């Protein structure tokens, strides 16, 4: 039997506080993304590069063709088509759609069904659990079985870098959410300590946008569309083609590997 854990939580924490927290996390993502854009100059670089490629265009791309390219880009993003490794693609899809499902249902449950007096449809609660489980499945699969073997690179398997912040905080947040929901159903004395850990992990996830790969998801589709557009208008024809001939040192150039 699935239930809305936020409605049960309303007995000890006001729904207004829960709703304020969700709004605060949304603002953290928005503010962090803007800060990351300004700090790294991502938007400035993107638009300057777009202007340069347009100035070198050999043909004009019409509206219908642009729409087709946009749809192709969207389809690639929705299917994680940029990943050559099928295992990594599946893990990424699990995490991506799990996060989307989990985030949307959390907002719906907190704002539309915040108390037992407003019971949520069971399928919404089921989707909340399913989203969290998908995050855990994709995240743990990536972390323990697909992640680049750092030991083979001479590093400790326990080595963490800034790029790991997003996936770690996301998986920990989803894991603690499931544990908290279970303890909430059991009326366990551990419910509040786990809830506090869950809030901390979730806050780290959304507050660390400028230092994690979270904002990367906003720029990636735009960059992919710009690449397709520049290929269509011929501006990329001015770039040298990838070479597979030996370099001056005698070692062949290889295509990049996708893990």
pLDDT grade for 118, boundaries at 50, 70 and 90: very high
Is there a domain that residue 93 lies in? yes
Q: Burial level of 70, CB count in 10 A (0-12/13-18/19+)?
A: middle
Is there a domain that residue 80 lies in? no
Is there a domain that residue 207 lies in? yes
pLDDT grade for 129, boundaries at 50, 70 and 90: very high
At 142-152, the pLDDT tens digits run 888 777 655 55
Domain count, the chain: 1
| This prediction's pTM | 0.77
**Domain span holding position 115:** 5-53+87-150+158-231
Is there a domain that residue 141 lies in? yes
pLDDT grade for 88, boundaries at 50, 70 and 90: confident
Report the pLDDT averaged over residues 206-229: 73
Q: Which of 136, 74, 128, 138 is nearest to 101 (CA)?
A: 128
Is there a domain that residue 117 lies in? yes
3-class state of residue 115 by DSSP: coil
Q: Burial level of 53, CB count in 10 A (0-12/13-18/19+)?
A: buried
Report the pLDDT averaged over residues 87-91: 86
Is there a domain that residue 118 lies in? yes
Is there a domain that residue 27 lies in? yes
Is there a domain that residue 139 lies in? yes
pLDDT at 215 (0 to 100): 64
């Amino acid at each position: 039997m699935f239930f809305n854990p936020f409605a049960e939580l309303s007995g000890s924490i006001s729904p207004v506080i829960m709703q304020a927290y969700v709004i605060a996390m949304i603002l953290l993502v928005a503010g962090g993304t803007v800060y990351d854009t300004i700090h790294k100059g991502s938007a400035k670089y993107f638009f300057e590069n777009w202007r340069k490629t347009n100035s070198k265009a050999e043909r004009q791309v019409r509206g219908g063709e642009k729409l087709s390219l946009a749809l192709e880009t969207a389809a690639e993003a929705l299917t994680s088509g940029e990943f050559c490794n099928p295992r990594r693609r599946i893990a990424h899809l699990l995490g991506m759609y799990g996060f989307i499902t989990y985030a949307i249902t959390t907002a719906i449950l907190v704002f539309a069904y915040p108390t037992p007096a407003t019971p949520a449809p069971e399928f919404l609660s089921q989707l909340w659990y399913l989203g969290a489980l998908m995050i855990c499945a994709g995240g743990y699969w990536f972390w323990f079985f697909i992640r680049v073997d750092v030991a083979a690179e001479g590093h400790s398997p326990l080595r963490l870098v800034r790029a790991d912040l997003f996936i770690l905080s996301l998986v920990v947040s989803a894991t603690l959410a499931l544990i908290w929901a279970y303890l909430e159903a059991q009326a366990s004395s551990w419910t509040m300590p786990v809830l506090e850990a869950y809030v901390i992990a979730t806050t780290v996830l959304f507050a660390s946008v400028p230092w994690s790969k979270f904002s990367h998801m906003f720029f990636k589709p735009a960059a992919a569309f710009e690449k397709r557009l520049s290929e269509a208008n011929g501006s990329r024809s001015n770039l040298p083609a990838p070479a597979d001939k030996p370099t001056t040192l005698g070692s062949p150039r290889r295509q990049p590997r996708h893990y």
